[in-house]
Amino acid sequence: MTERGVVFDLGYTPHEGERRGRRGAIATMYRDGLYRVFGIHRRARKKILPWLLVVFAVLPAVAFVGFAFLLSTFAPDAESPFGSHADYFGLTGAIVLLFVALAAPELLIPDRREGVLAIYSSRPLTPDNYVGARAASLLTVIAGFTLIPQALMYVGFAALSSDGFFKALGANASEIPRILAATLVFGLAYAPLALLVSTIANRKAAATGIYLGIMLIGSALAAALVEATNLPGRRYAALLSLAEHPEYVTSWIFGGTGSGDLVVASTGLDPWVSLVAMLVIAVGSSLLVAWRYRRIM
């Protein structure tokens, strides 16, 4: 005898499981931010540039460790010519700046242009939660860009050390808080202003251009004002050189005095003045972004 099949119409099944409320909403928003900036779950062309920049940020560290390996193998007594952790921040700074210029507009502008904010306004999120989650995504990306190559160098050089891996790790442990502090400095210097520009601009390309313009033309303007004028207190014009602040402060964190190529260093301003200028811009930008989103969400 053949058994008769039975078709069940399951219809609509209510959700009776866990609901994580605001905590879950913020975590989802944060994860979405990371997906967006790396083009994950997006078309292939959205993945190319971010991942290319990741390669550019990490590749020198891999090369440094590789050359150090060759050097330790073939000329163990030779002094390593490769850069320190502080130097590497100078190297990746420009790549981080470019990535932030591309990532911040991607995080904020499509939500406004495509009207997705209307949906966020029906979820257990406040405007501050939204801005905070997006900023956290951007800061995480900046931290990834700076910390991953630093970690590669830290572990790689320790592995090649003639003193032994663990001893070398311990000997350089004092670098870890400095690396973390420098990462925070780059995050504060780059992210809030990029988010502010993306809050005002309505097109991603425009936001990227405006942000890079502010950061890079600021340095040229600062140099011109410092060198070509006789105005009293003109050295403070060097504070307009926004892209240089993180490098100058990072150098200070690692015990250096900053390259003489930096306008802000050449004027003799103390690094803490740079740090204060950076913090003022970061706090001011953050407040303006929060204010704007409280009005539109």
Partner 1 sequence: MDNTPILSASNLGHAYGSIVALHGVDFDLPPGRIGLVGANGAGKTTLIKILLGILRPTTGSVTALGFDATKDMLDVRSRIGYMPESDCLPLDVTASEFIVYAAGLAGLPRNAARQRSSDVLTLVGLEEERFRPLGGFSTGMKQRTKLAQAIVHDPELVFLDEPTAGLDPEGREEMLELISRLGGFGINVLVSSHVLGDIERTCDRVLMLDGGRVLRSGPLSHLVDADVVSVDVLGDVSAVVEHLTAAGATVETTGTRLLVSSSDDDPFRLVRDALVSTGNGMRSLGPKATTLEDVFLEGSGT
Interacting residues toward partner 1 by CB under 8 A: 11-15, 17-25, 27-29, 31-32, 41-43, 46, 110-111, 114-116, 118-126, 297
The encoded tokens of residue 296 equal 């539109």
Give the nearest distance from C-beta 143 to partner 1 in angstroms.
23
For partner 1, which is the closer residue by CB, 3 or 18? 18
* CA–CA distance, 227 with 267 (Å, rounded to integer): 10
Residue 113 vs 167, nearer CB to partner 1: 113
Task: Give the tokens for residue 104.
Answer: 């911040």
Amino acid type, 255: G
The least CB distance from residue 16 to partner 1, in Å, is 8
d(CA 226, CA 81): 34
**What is the full DSSP assignment across 215-265?**
HHHHHHHHHHHHHH---TTGGGGGGG-GGGHHHHHHHHHTT----TTSHHH
Least gap, CB of 97 to partner 1 (angstroms): 25
Cβ at position 98, least distance to partner 1 in Å: 22
> Which residue lies nearer to partner 1 by CB, 66 or 124?
124
Pick 46 or 234: Cβ nearer partner 1: 46
Q: Which of 124/213 has CB closer to partner 1?
A: 124
Task: Please compute Rg for the chain using Cα positions.
Answer: 24
Backbone φ and ψ of 267, nearest 5° = -85, -10
CB of 135 to partner 1, least distance (A): 17
